[in-house]
Amino acid sequence: MHATQAIHYLTRHFISPNRAINSLSHLYKATGLLKIYRHFFSEEFAASDLRLISEIGGLHDVLTECLDLVRQRLFEIPDYLFEEMVEDDLPLTEIPIEPMFGEWWNEEFEDMTLLWQILVTLLGENEANSSDHGAIRVVIDARRRWQDQVINYDSLASLCGCRQTPLRKLCVALLTLDHSTGNPWLDATYECPIRGIEWTVRNVNYLREKWAEAQQVSDDIMDLNEWLSKDAAHIYELLALWEQALMLRP
């Protein structure tokens, strides 16, 4: 090889120490997600051109492939995190938990679903005037009558368990409203996010199960909300059930 050819070759293929360190750092941080790719999506992993990860851009492409598969088959990955991963030039080192129901206390009362309006009113979290909300007026009046009483959750759970209507899911809705279900997708909030969950097979399996559970809870809550919205008599049925589970304030 002539000297000019050797210089040309080295110029094209030489990697500076800083670049090598940065590349190794990125690859190290991406190791967990790459292991998930190989474990859960072995066929796609085998078909992926992993030679591309010699470049940072190629590494992002491979990680994006993996995240797309996770979102399609396992659990939700928010869109904005794909953009952040590219903008920050860093792999996604932790599993993101996006709150499924947001934060009701940061919403306008009128923007909440009917079910949420009813529950926050019964729990004493609504300061609205009864004359301002037609469908919810009866709930506000009931809450005023019961101001010296609080709900007994054990009694309510027993009563709900005997119902054949969507009211069976009232207690689950209450736990979801309180972000105390034990499910990370339902309990996470923007004020108190769930962080630090690493990309491990065990964690992904756990979150996959919890995501399916959270989706079912979401469907149940939407069914209950729709049921309440269809007939005002259903609101009275909920109030009657609630009254049975009341007890005097301790």
Residue 95 lies in a domain: no
pLDDT < 50 regions, the chain: 1, 6-11, 13-14, 130-131
Same domain, 161 and 223: yes
- Kindly report the length of the chain: 250
Same domain, 243 and 176: yes
Same domain, 120 and 236: yes
Q: What is the pLDDT of residue 23?
A: 55
Same domain, 30 and 149: no
Same domain, 151 and 226: yes
Same domain, 58 and 116: no
Would you tell me the crossing angle of helices 17-40 and 201-230 to the nearest 10 degrees?
Answer: 60
Q: What is the pLDDT of residue 28?
A: 64
Same domain, 114 and 59: no
* 185: number of Cβ within 10 Å: 23
pLDDT in tens, 179-224: 999 999 999 999 999 988 999 999 999 999 999 999 999 999 999 9
Same domain, 227 and 140: yes
Q: Tell the burial category of 131 from Cβ atoms under 10 Å away from its Cβ (0-12, 13-18, 19+).
A: exposed
Q: How many domains does the chain have?
A: 2
Could you say which DSSP state residue 136 is in? T
Residue 24 lies in a domain: yes
Q: What is the pTM of this model?
A: 0.82
Same domain, 75 and 110: no
Among the three residues 87, 116, 140, which one is the final residue of a domain in this structure?
A: 87
Same domain, 147 and 183: yes
Do the beta carbons of residue 246 and residue 146 sit within 8 Å?
yes
Q: What is the pLDDT of residue 71?
A: 94
Q: What is the pLDDT of residue 10?
A: 40
Among the three residues 31, 52, 87, which one is the final residue of a domain in this structure?
A: 87
Same domain, 71 and 167: no
> What is the residue range of 144's domain?
104-248
